[in-house]
Structure 1
Amino acid sequence: MLKFPANFLWGSAASAPQTEGHSLGNGKSATTWDKWFELNPEKFHANEGPENTSNVYEEYINDIKRMKEIGLNSYRTSISWARLLPDGKKINQEAVMFYRDYFQKMLDEGIHPIVNLFHFDMPWWLMEKGGWETRESVEAFHFYAKTAFELFGDLVSDWVTFNEPLVHIECGYLYGYHYPAIVDFKKAIQVGFHTLMAHVYAVKAFRDTQNNGRIGIVLNVTPTYAKSDRKQDQEAKRKADLLIIKSFLDPCVLGIIPAELSELLLENDLTPDSLPDDKKVISRNLVDFIGINYYQPMRVQAPREIRHPAIFPTNFYESYDWPEKRVNPYRGWEIYPEAMYDVAIMMKDDYGNIPWYVSENGMGVADEERFMDESGMIIDDYRIEFMKEHLEYLHRGIEEGSNCFGYHTWTFVDCWSWLNGYKNRYGFYRIDLENNYKRSLKKSGLWFKELSKSNGF
């Protein structure tokens, strides 16, 4: 039997925009998702927009009881910036009551809340001013973070500033997947730097506001695997590591932007605008822990076309399709649990063995009703096997001294997923969109209950 450390956090993760619903009600203002769905509903799978999602705004009390029933001792969700501060300044008191009751009910059931401030949901009022392209976004986020700490700091001890900041950077400003769907490498770097400074000033606000607890950031980080040992492939790996891994991990944990990254940006006319004190502020506001979201590895090879200055990341590295890979066909993602061990050792050896946890890991599958038994339960053995494999490699890393304190799945109840809507399901509970968002337990939920109860498997 594989046993995990005492007081290990077994839980799930979700976000406000993907679960709450009531997206334009109860005092909440529009986000980029609300506005994009209004402008281009055809971009969204099955015309499923952000209005109702999983209706957690009404269901949270029952959902928390369900969490306890399947052994969750912790849960990460986010606050909606546009719900708490609809115009960026004035507090929405209904939102305060909702979140305070949400977090208190978790505590009442012995569920440790980890609360995130930003999960891709830029308020529209700020987007109209340029969003993360503008330095104003840093000040606006600092005020929002300070407000949240003051309002909920007595209930929440573990905070997260951002979930996967690379996603809103890359998807919004490089690959055209998220609003504003811009393809501009230099803008993406600037957005990335403002996001980093927003994080840093949120950490500063936490230190100034809250005397107890911890603050961290959740990153989608995995070691990069090169196609070969050839010099060109290894150089591609080095540049990928700088842009994808070290760009946030190093300043957040070590307090420095890697010199090699700064040089790479300078050489390619990509250096972002900054203020004289920015480096000093970065060095003084380090995180207490890191969350790592892991789904698939990153494999790279030397680029076929080298341009100078670079106009796209593919001028530095290209994706490599490993012929031996296993794939989740519903997402097209490689299944490679071995990386969980590599992440654990990377955090131990390269980042001072800072406390960290697996903040997301999961398997999205479409049309899960195919696996429903006579009683109506989805028999998702594929999800159980996925978790087992990843936990085996995580356990090995912990046994070798990596300071991991928890494992969270994505997600607890099937949730809305941006442009994909409800196409792929990840939850321990199925949600029936045609039957008033009725929840029903999947087999994986029963397995997770035993996992948590035994603190291992």
Structure 2
Amino acid sequence: MTHHFPTDFWWGAAASGPQTEGRSPNDSKGASIWDHWFKTNPEKFYQGQGPGQTTQVMTHYQEDLQCMEEIGFNSFRTSIQWSRLIPEGRGAVDQEAVAFYHRYFDELLARGIQPFVNLYHFDMPMALQNQGGWLNRETVTAFAEYAQVCFDLFGEKVSHWFTQNEPIVPVEMGYLYQQHYPAVVDLSMAVQVGYHEALASARAIQKFRRSACTGKIGIILNLTPTYPKDPQNPADQEAAVIADAFFNRSFLDPAVKGTFPQELVEIIDDLGMRPNTTETDLAVIRTNTVDLLGVNYYQPRRVQQKQSPKNGQHPMPEDYFDVYDWPDKKINPYRGWEIYEKGIYDTLINLRDNYDNIPCFISENGMGVENEGRFKNEAGIIEDDYRIQFIKDHLAYVHQAIEEGCHCLGYHMWAATDNWSWLNAFKNRYGFISIDLDTQQRTIKRSGYWFKEVIRENGFS
């Protein structure tokens, strides 16, 4: 069977500023929460590799983009680092950063690659975190100001903007599960952080609509479809609805519909944890929904009715469901995540049926593998056939969803190049393009050459 995709389909990959830029000895970038955390707790980072040691894109972006051009990308998403552009989070704009981002975007455009630019990828400026970060309402105002600076500086070069990447992650990893700074466990804080992120996204969209920018603005959400253990069991079904409200609809609903899921609001009210809000806020969220939705899909969530005891110390989302370990699952052993290709189809169908078929694209989908160097052939190319199969299997379901009417405009893999990944650093490699960290040499993997054929044919057999 041959899968052909729509004309002008977006083919490319994604990255982020904090995972690629790194630091140089004379760097004028302000500290982010990651710079601070590595300075205070370097032992938490795999092999002691911190955010200053990434893929040095600031001095190697031309090699990266040359590889992307060779593969045939027509689009590429990255992010501006808030703490690089505005080192203190508010106030003075760093002109070295402005010059770099202009060079970066100019080079992309010169190579026929549209820059898709995200404003926030987990990288809160430490100056603002010291004042509470997303817990502080002033950060919402600071983010809107930062967004305005970006639109003013780069709006003539960028026509696809995104306010935030996976805003649920700072909520759950920073304030529930201790994988991101400040690594606390407090559901009431998590709720306030999530609310302020949603409001900040809407405020940035409001700024965009009032600016002279053309193009579209959206948000990138990691949508993890939730499956009940027994779809015929009402208690399992209810557990799935609640898990979905916590982890998907908490940002999907305000971003697309301008409202928050009622199931989640009722739980938060029952716990006495309603965030501080104003009627003006809710009007801003209601009237500043996204033009475009980026969908990051990696794995499903499987749940069943609550049977185990609740966590007595702290209220948690898992007080309302238990995780279900599906015995037939297929696992990526390096990441520990389930590989379930149909989840990408189910996610797109849900957007078609329940979110007015909003224009969307797959903004991330990928497979991290440890120690990929062992798959290098005599020519020095990594033969990552497993990644080719992974992408094929997911793209087949994307194609099916499009055939069934889903308004999906493109597919971006995570990631363009191997890159640094938070506490895991370089443990798992994700890219179409491998990077030798000692020499900084870039080499296209076999998957990159396969993807080149997909792009050229606008499909695959």
Fold similarity call, TM over 0.5: yes
Checking the alignment, whether the CA contact within 8 Å between 1:24 and 1:30 is kept in structure 2 is no
Distance 1:52 1:358, change over 3 A: same
Residue 191 (structure 1) aligns with: 193
Checking the alignment, whether the CA contact within 8 Å between 2:381 and 2:446 is kept in structure 1 is yes
Residue 242 (structure 2) aligns with: 239
Residue 134 (structure 2) aligns with: 132
* Aligned-residue offset at 1:258: 2.4
Gaps in structure 1 of 5+ consecutive residues: none
Alignment of 1:118-157 (within 5 A): 118-157=120-159
* Aligned-residue offset at 1:210: 3.2
* Aligned-residue offset at 1:340: 1.1
The partner residue of 1:271 within 271, 274, 286 is 274
Alignment of 1:16-415 (within 5 A): 16-22=17-23, 25-87=26-88, 88-228=90-230, 229-303=232-306, 304-306=308-310, 311-415=315-419
Helix, strand or coil at the partner of 2:426:
coil
Distance 1:56 1:438, change over 3 A: same
1:393-426 alpha-carbon deviations (Å, 9 max, x no partner): 1100000000000000011110000100100000
Distance 1:163 1:268, change over 3 A: same
Residue 447 (structure 2) aligns with: 444
Checking the alignment, whether the CA contact within 8 Å between 2:67 and 2:444 is kept in structure 1 is no
So what's the TM-score if we normalise by structure 1? 0.98
Q: 2 CA distance for matches of 1:161 and 1:113? A: 14
Checking the alignment, whether the CA contact within 8 Å between 1:269 and 1:309 is kept in structure 2 is no
Checking the alignment, whether the CA contact within 8 Å between 1:17 and 1:23 is kept in structure 2 is no
Q: 1 CA distance for matches of 2:212 and 2:176? A: 36
Checking the alignment, whether the CA contact within 8 Å between 1:71 and 1:449 is kept in structure 2 is yes
Q: 1 CA distance for matches of 2:300 and 2:357? A: 21
Alignment of 1:421-436 (within 5 A): 421-435=425-439
* Aligned-residue offset at 1:308: 10
Q: 1 CA distance for matches of 2:299 and 2:155? A: 34
Helix, strand or coil at the partner of 1:255:
coil
Q: 2 CA distance for matches of 1:49 and 1:418? A: 8
Gaps in structure 2 of 5+ consecutive residues: none
Deviates more, 1:273-282 or 1:132-141: 273-282
Question: Identity, % of aligned pairs?
Answer: 51
Distance 1:211 1:31, change over 3 A: closer
* Aligned-residue offset at 1:260: 2.8
The residue identity in structure 1 corresponding to 2:409 is F
Distance 1:53 1:182, change over 3 A: same
The residue identity in structure 2 corresponding to 1:244 is F
Deviates more, 1:104-113 or 1:382-391: 104-113
Deviates more, 1:295-304 or 1:4-13: 295-304
Q: 1 CA distance for matches of 2:38 and 2:209? A: 37
* Aligned-residue offset at 1:370: 1.3
* Aligned-residue offset at 1:37: 0.5
* Aligned-residue offset at 1:307: 7.5
* Aligned-residue offset at 1:143: 0.4
Checking the alignment, whether the CA contact within 8 Å between 1:26 and 1:94 is kept in structure 2 is no
Helix, strand or coil at the partner of 1:51:
helix
* Aligned-residue offset at 1:173: 0.2
Checking the alignment, whether the CA contact within 8 Å between 2:63 and 2:442 is kept in structure 1 is no
Residue 3 (structure 1) aligns with: 4
Checking the alignment, whether the CA contact within 8 Å between 2:34 and 2:181 is kept in structure 1 is yes
1:123-178 alpha-carbon deviations (Å, 9 max, x no partner): 01001001011101100101000110000000001000000011111000000111
* Aligned-residue offset at 1:208: 1.1
Checking the alignment, whether the CA contact within 8 Å between 2:87 and 2:93 is kept in structure 1 is yes
Q: 2 CA distance for matches of 1:374 and 1:306? A: 55
Q: 2 CA distance for matches of 1:242 and 1:93? A: 42
Is structure 2 residue 434 aligned with structure 1 residue 454?
no
